[in-house]
Every structure is written in structure tokens, then in C-alpha cells.
Amino acid sequence: MHQPATGQEDLEILDKRFKRHEDNLAFLKSRIKHLDESIHGLKGSLERYHSENVAETVSDSSLHTEVETKILQRENSAAGILCWLKANRLSRALDLALTKDVLGVVASLARVDDENLSRLLSEYLGLDTMLAIVCKTYEGVKALENYDGEGSVNSKTGLHGLGSSIGRRINGRFLVICLEDIRSYAGGFVEDDQQRKLALPKPKLPNGQCPSGFLDYAVNMINLEERNLSYLTASGYGLRETLFYGLFSRLQIYRTRSEMLLALSCITDGALSLDGGMIKKSGVFALGSRKDIEVKFPIASVRFNAPANYTQTEDMIRMLEWERSKIAEDMEREEQLYNTMSSVIIFPQKDEPM
């Protein structure tokens, strides 16, 4: 028959568990240190490349000036207030969970190669979506807005409260996109492409041929800013396969309206043509004149041409940073267990008198 453990045996068991958590912590700390050194070295190699090729790069500030100005002009929008707070670097705002979890506004997270494509994609998404705030997690969404006991918005907290502090009030509803809740693209990527474009199969007509005039999918015709290329969700997905695939899905881009209409049989998620044609989804056509959306994606005036190993280095940095974030989560859990075990061993419960 199994004999119950004595108090001394209990302490020995706890001590072994304590030692195991201690060893786990030491290993995780060592792993994070190694990852930090690797990431630092890889980023250093990219920085050296940039310093030697300054003329070939485009500064983020020049790309964002116009779009951020347009957003700031919408003073009573959630996007306008958020951009104002970040532009003025208010320490009170930047320390809040809502700003830590916010990546930005949709219009500021990508760029396109020409003005016409910018107008088309912006019109397709619509102003509300272009001004949508993008959060990493649902915790960030909750931090933006709080409610009173009757379910009404509490205007003194969250983004509403920050707006009030600078004399602005959010009018109406605003969209917020939560990256961790988006169903991500699960396929592969175009090989050796530094933008990590999605390897989507070309549309095919009943005869098996790709439609004449098909240029690409919209999700692959936007370019992510360099600062966002390395971003990964907790599940390991980037912005293209989460945010922009969620917004555009397999929206097709054609050279002309007539070519687009000839391809109706293989259009499932909508299509646009460079001369203004628009199909919102299969069977739904948008007719009439173009509507110019005030807030558009910024234009890249210069292309960034990097050597082949540049993309591989960026991919490596992206994966190492993602691995580091997961290890940091494991280490936080181990520290909690370690601290719990420490208190038990240092201050053991005294046996009750017989």
C-alpha cells in the first residue's frame, strides 16, 4: 500500500521542482541572449547596406507626409485623433495599452507604385476602411473604448478620453481591425521576393488560359513599409497575409474594363481595371463615375532594389523575432512558477499539532 510522503519528502519534491524551473529559466535566458545577438548582427548587416545605398531607398517620412496630413485634417475621427497623438508624442498617450497595441491606420501601412492604382484601391475599400485602426490583439481593441453600466460609450476613457483631452470628439462609429482574429492566408510565398508576395495561382478561363489583361491580385500590388515587413502575429503571420489578404482577398486587377468583363467566369472575389471598372464581388458591379477618396495609399516614387540575400536576411530576422517573442512568453510563465515555488520553499507551511 502506498505510504503518504513525509514533510521532509514533500520539501525534497518541491526542491526538485524548484531546481527544474531554475534550470528552465537559465536555458530560456540563454536562448534569448543568443537570439538577441543574432538579430542585432543581421540588422547591422541591413543597416550597413542602407548606409551604402542611401540614394536607392525611400524615407518613411517622405512617403507618409501627405497621407498623414489628410488623416490629421479629419480632426473628429478616431484615426485623426490617433495620428495627432502619435505625431505630438504625448507621453501619457504613448504609455497606454491602446497605443502600444495599435499598428496604425490602414492607409498608412502600405504604399503603391502609382497614383491611379492608389485611387482605385482606396475607392474599392472606401473611406471608413482606409481610416480603420489596426490593432495587434483583441486587448488593444478593448482598450480603445469602454462602456458604462447601461452600455453607452464612456467618453472619458480610451481613445474618446484622449480626444477630449485635446479638445476633440469622435463623431459616429469607426472601424477597428484585430489582426489576431483575421483568418490568414495559409499558402506559400513568391520565391526570393523581398515583399513576401503571396503565391496565388493565376485565374483561368474555362479553356485553361489566364485571361488577357490580368495584371495581378490587389493583395500583391501593395508594398509594405520596411518597418512593417518584419511584423508577425503571435501565430507567425505577416501583414500581407492577415490585414491585406483580409481586405482584398483575391481581388483581381486588369488592364482595361473590356478585358475584365471577358474574364467574368473566373472572377470570384471582385476585380478592378486601370481604366475605372469595378466588380465588388461575383455578380455585383459598381457603375457610374469614379469617386475620389480623400485618404489614399501613399505613392513610392523610388523602388527599393536589394540583393537576393537581403530578402533572406529579412526573413531570418522576422522568424528570429517571432521565436524570441514566444520564448519571452515561456520565460514569463516560468518566472511566475519559479516565484511561487520560492515562496513555498522559503516559507513552508508548519505542520498542525497532532
CA atoms within 13 A on the CB side of 321: 19
**Matching residue, cell 545577438:** 37
Q: Is pLDDT at 350 greater than 60 in this prediction? A: no
Q: Which three cell numbers stand for residue 233?
A: 502575429
What are the tens digits of pLDDT across the range 255-314? 999 999 999 999 999 999 999 999 998 888 888 888 888 888 888 754 445 555 666 676
Going by pLDDT thresholds of 50, 70 and 90, the confidence category of residue 124 is very high
Give the side-chain half-sphere CA count within 13 A for 201. 7
C-alpha cell at 72: 490629421
The answer on pLDDT for 243 being more than 70 is yes
- The span from the CA of 145 to the CA of 88, in Å, is 21
Instruction: State pLDDT tens for residues 46-85.
Output: 666 655 554 343 344 444 567 888 888 888 888 888 888 7
Q: Which helix (H) or strand (E) holds 133?
A: strand 133-135
Model's pTM, two decimal places? Answer: 0.69
Task: Give the containing element (helix H, strand E) for 57.
Answer: none
What is the rounded radius of gyration, in angstroms, for the C-alpha atoms of the chain?
26
End-to-end alpha-carbon separation of the chain, Å? 23
Question: Over the stretch 15-31, which tens digit does the pLDDT of each residue have?
Answer: 777 778 778 888 888 88
Locate the domains of the chain by residue range. Answer: 12-55+327-346, 58-303
Q: What CA–CA distance (Å, rounded) separates 224 from 193?
A: 12
What are the backbone angles phi and psi of residue 176, rounded to the nearest 5°? -130, 130
